[in-house]
Amino acid sequence: MERIICLAAGYLCGLFQTGYIYGKLHGIDIRSYGSGNSGSTNALRVMGKKAGLTVFVGDFLKTVIPCFITRLLFKDQPELMYVYMLYTGLGVILGHNFPFYLGFKGGKGIAATAGIIFSIDWRLTVICLSCFILLVAVTRYVSLGSLVASVILLVWDAVQNLRGAYGLIPGRLEFTAVTAVITVMAFWRHRANIGRLLKGTENKVGAKKQ
């Protein structure tokens, strides 16, 4: 029941479509431009740096806040607290990617995934952020940096799981399994980007799409 509640609460938080709302405030439906999704990268490309940063922060916080609340609510269950946080984060990603009131057409969940990374461990945050910045600076492919960060999340959680970190005892397998779902979701939502990366035609940051 706790898992279902965390998923449902996360999904409700994920329904706050920062990019869609920001676009509407400026007279456009962001999903009709650029890559067609409501995420921060498309907002950056279509509406500029201020829009991209605003949308990223909004989507980031809509994961961090419910994950923090989950941590507080289940602090007396340290062996499962992090598992419940992952369920909450996964719910946010699902709500962000598939908002029912927008015809299930949302974003790709990377800013929300960043919120999960931040909520789990500051060391993981530093590693993912450093790799993301380096990759984007060198290649100018935001999608590549995002995918690598999601893989680091999975590897990190698997290693910490084996080490018995985060107080995980009964929830060890489940912890890694939910993380794997989050990573697979990132790759699935970026499948078109992956195809373009392989062909060398992926959009680079800074190149505005009409």
Percent of the chain with pLDDT over 90: 65
Exposure b/e, 174-195, CB count within 10 A at least 16 = b:
bbbebbebbbebbeebbeebee
Cα 147 to Cα 183: distance, rounded to the nearest angstrom: 8
pLDDT of residue 210: 45
pLDDT of residue 170: 63
pLDDT of residue 171: 65
Q: What's the predicted TM-score (pTM) here?
A: 0.90
pLDDT of residue 169: 63
Q: What does the angle CA 187 – CA 170 – CA 186 come to, to the nearest 5 degrees?
A: 5
In the predicted structure, residue 207 carries a pLDDT above the cut 70: no
In the predicted structure, residue 33 carries a pLDDT above the cut 90: no
pLDDT of residue 167: 67
Summarize pLDDT for 77-111 with one digit per residue, the tens: 888 888 999 999 999 999 999 999 988 988 899 99
User: Which value, in Å, is the radius of gyration of the alpha carbons in the chain?
Assistant: 17
Unique residue bearing structure tokens 């960043």: 114
Judge contact between 119 and 111, C-beta under 8 A.
no
pLDDT of residue 179: 94
Amino acid in position 60: F
Summarize pLDDT for 119-142 with one digit per residue, the tens: 999 999 999 999 999 999 999 999
